[in-house]
């Protein structure tokens, strides 16, 4: 580890997707930046590892290295919701699946190559202040020795339980609880292929794809109430076997390690800018992982924050620029946040939602637009709109076969939640009590 300077333009706390992307973008602008990361790399972090925003990674200059990991670009979306087939090919909209123990070090090396100083196994334990703003951080090096680094701006890219957020007292708003839990495992022996598999059958989402190094990732998102059933014994593998495409894909494949599970997380926004500090990635905002947006969002946010922060430093308007960035982040993330919440609701899909999917599948252009939601190219509630829900309900009633009361209740529920998300986007509900950020216990359970 090279010796760190006493002063940087930007100190980034946390060195995974958000932190490494931010640091690379700051360094490329010729500013002094260091990344402080408490973990040793390579190491894992909780994720299903599917991501979009390959444009952002192309701009970072890492696409060649990412493809060299053996992860095939996923351009065929094989999607099914109950009996509705939503499969389509998109050579121009690819995803990748790369394990974080591979992706994160690669991004951090890229930041270093761009000129950022990197310190692993280095924990931020406090902030420095003058009477007006945050001016730096207090750290402990790998041997636990304390020291201080000064900075024009300190960015917390330190995840959901952000230390920086706790130290500045950033409050959370529009907090939501998860209704699903998830498990994932990696298999050997599945021929690598460029297909994203996503099947919603009953109350379970089955998601899978080829990953780096010839591995195949299989995951399931299910009702939280079913967690014990999935976790115990061969519950996870037995569940995968109930999904016909997974049963045939995994025939003869070998599980490389016991499945990992996550059962508890919260969605939230957090106050994300103040005098001399800002939060990026999960530190400032976390959404239900069902639509797999966190990594792409972290990359997009970090690119944008680098632009605003560097401009602010150059023009002595840092406070204004960070505040602008926070407003941009909220605007950028709001609709997907509520849609991810909707998508992450427990239970089977309602008949109205299945009918909406049926109508979307019937028209290739609408289907393409539906898939584009996952790429942040289409607003989710333009596709899953109240008008489309009403039309679907009307069709169900006309066709008969679904209890009228059920259709009406589903439609009213969708409408009420749509109203609530619009209302809360404009009038955020802040968490009661003192600012809550880093907790002693992580929110997720991973075992
Ligand atoms: C179950 C689950 C599944 C998911 N699946 C997907 C998916 O398929 N696709 C997707 O795009 N997203 C997924 N996500 C979300 C995704 O993992 C996150 O959005 C992403 O990791 C955010 O990256 P980040 O850099 O902001 O934070 P993190 O990846 O959390 O990194 C924060 C870093 O900060 C470091 N740090 C923390 N405190 C300190 C400190 N005091 N000093 C120094 N360093 C510190 C940590 O060690 C850590 O390395 C999933 C999340 C969950 C919970």
286, 306, 305: which is closest to 295 by C-alpha? 286
Query: Which positions ≥6 away from 110 have C-beta within 8 Å?
Result: 20, 24, 60, 61, 62, 65
Q: 434 pLDDT band (50/70/90 cuts)?
A: low
Q: What are phi and psi of 238, to 5 degrees?
A: -60, -40
Q: 436 pLDDT band (50/70/90 cuts)?
A: low
Position in ligand 1 atom list of the atom nearest CA 51: 11
Contact 79, 206 (CB under 8 A): no
**Ligand 1 pocket by Cβ (under 6 Å):** 13-14, 16-19, 36-39, 45-51, 123-124, 157-159, 163, 182, 262, 265, 281-282, 289, 292-296, 298, 444
CATH superfamily of 7-71+99-177+265-340: FAD/NAD(P)-binding domain (3.50.50.60)
Strand partners, 149: 137
Q: Could you tell me the distance, in angstroms and rounded to a whole number, from the CA of residue 162 to the centre of ligand 1?
A: 10
Q: Where are the domains of the chain?
A: 7-71+99-177+265-340, 180-262, 346-426
Return the residue whose CA atom lies nearest to atom 23 of ligand 1.
17
Q: CA–CA distance from 122 to each of 13, 112, 150, 245, 363 (Å)? A: 9, 16, 15, 44, 53
Position in ligand 1 atom list of the atom nearest CA 295: 11
Q: Could you tell me the distance, in angstroms and rounded to a whole number, from the CA of residue 376 to the centre of ligand 1?
A: 19
Position in ligand 1 atom list of the atom nearest CA 122: 43
Position in ligand 1 atom list of the atom nearest CA 14: 34
Cβ-count burial 221-235 (b if 16+ within 10 Å, e if not): bbbeebbeebbeeeb
Return the residue whose CA atom lies nearest to atom 37 of ligand 1.
158
Return the residue whose CA atom lies nearest to atom 19 of ligand 1.
294
Position in ligand 1 atom list of the atom nearest CA 280: 26
Whether the per-residue pLDDT at 314 is higher than 50: the answer is: yes
Q: Could you tell me the distance, in angstroms and rounded to a whole number, from the CA of residue 98 to the centre of ligand 1?
A: 14
Pairing of strands 180-188, 260-262: antiparallel
193-250 pLDDT, tens digit per residue, is: 999 999 999 999 999 999 999 999 999 999 999 999 999 999 999 999 999 999 999 9
CATH class of 180-262: alpha beta
Position in ligand 1 atom list of the atom nearest CA 19: 25
Query: Which positions ≥6 away from 180 have C-beta within 8 Å?
Result: 205, 221, 222, 223, 224, 288, 290, 344, 345, 346
444, 2, 3, 92: which is closest to 267 by C-alpha? 444
Contact 167, 201 (CB under 8 A): no
Q: Could you tell me the distance, in angstroms and rounded to a whole number, from the CA of residue 264 to the centre of ligand 1?
A: 14
340-378 pLDDT, tens digit per residue, is: 999 999 999 999 999 999 999 999 999 999 999 999 999
Q: 88 pLDDT band (50/70/90 cuts)?
A: very high
Q: Could you tell me the distance, in angstroms and rounded to a whole number, from the CA of residue 159 to the centre of ligand 1?
A: 5
Helix (H) / strand (E) containing 180: strand 180-188
For the entire predicted model, the pTM comes to: 0.95
DSSP state of 344: T
Q: Could you tell me the distance, in angstroms and rounded to a whole number, from the CA of residue 16 to the centre of ligand 1?
A: 7
374-426 pLDDT, tens digit per residue, is: 999 999 999 999 999 999 999 999 999 999 999 999 999 999 999 999 999 99
Return the residue whose CA atom lies nearest to atom 15 of ligand 1.
294
Contact 44, 101 (CB under 8 A): yes
Q: Could you tell me the distance, in angstroms and rounded to a whole number, from the CA of residue 330 to the centre of ligand 1?
A: 19
| Strand runs labelled E in 237-346 | 254-255, 260-262, 266-270, 273-274, 277-279, 285-286
291, 184, 196: which is closest to 236 by C-alpha? 184
């Amino acid at each position: 580890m090279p010796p760190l300077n006493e002063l940087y333009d930007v100190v980034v706390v946390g060195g995974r997707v958000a932190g490494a992307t931010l640091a690379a973008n700051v360094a490329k602008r010729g500013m002094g930046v260091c990344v402080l990361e408490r973990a040793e790399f390579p190491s894992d972090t909780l994720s299903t590892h599917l991501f979009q925003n390959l444009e952002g990674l192309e701009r970072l200059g890492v696409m060649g290295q990412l493809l060299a990991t053996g992860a095939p670009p996923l351009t065929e979306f094989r999607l099914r919701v109950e009996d509705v087939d939503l499969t389509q090919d998109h050579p121009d909209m690819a995803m990748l699946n790369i394990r974080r123990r591979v992706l994160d070090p690669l991004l951090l090396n890229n930041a270093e190559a761009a000129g950022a100083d990197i310190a692993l196994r280095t924990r931020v334990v406090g902030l420095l202040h003058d009477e007006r703003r945050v001016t730096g951080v207090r750290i402990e090096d790998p041997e636990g020795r304390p020291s201080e680094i000064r900075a024009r701006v300190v960015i917390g890219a330190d995840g959901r339980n952000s230390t920086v957020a706790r130290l500045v007292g950033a409050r959370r708003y529009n907090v939501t609880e998860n209704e699903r839990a998830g498990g994932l495992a990696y298999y050997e022996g599945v021929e690598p292929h460029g297909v994203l598999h996503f099947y919603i059958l009953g109350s379970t989402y089955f998601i899978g794809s080829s990953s780096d190094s010839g591995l195949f990732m299989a995951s399931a998102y299910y009702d939280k109430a079913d967690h014990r059933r999935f976790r115990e014994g061969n519950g996870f593998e037995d569940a995968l076997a109930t999904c016909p495409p997974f049963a045939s894909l995994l025939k003869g494949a070998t599980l490389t390690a016991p499945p990992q599970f996550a059962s508890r997380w919260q969605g939230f926004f957090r106050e994300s800018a103040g005098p001399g500090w800002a939060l990026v990635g999960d530190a400032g905002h976390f959404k239900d992982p069902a639509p797999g947006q966190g990594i792409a969002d972290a990359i997009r946010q970090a690119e944008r924050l680098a632009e605003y922060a560097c401009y602010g430093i150059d023009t002595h308007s840092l406070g204004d620029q960070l505040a602008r960035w926070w407003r941009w982040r909220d605007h950028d993330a709001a609709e997907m946040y509520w849609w991810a919440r909707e998508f992450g609701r427990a239970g089977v899909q309602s008949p109205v939602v299945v009918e909406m999917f049926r109508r979307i599948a019937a028209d290739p252009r609408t289907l393409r637009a539906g898939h584009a939601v996952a790429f942040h190219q289409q607003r989710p509630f333009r596709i899953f709109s109240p008008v489309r829900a009403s039309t679907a309900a009307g069709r169900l009633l006309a066709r008969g076969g679904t209890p009228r009361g059920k259709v009406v209740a589903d439609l009213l529920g969708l409408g009420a939640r749509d109203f609530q998300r619009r209302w809360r986007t404009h009038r955020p509900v802040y968490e009661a009590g003192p600012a809550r950020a880093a907790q002693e216990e992580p929110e997720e359970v991973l075992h």
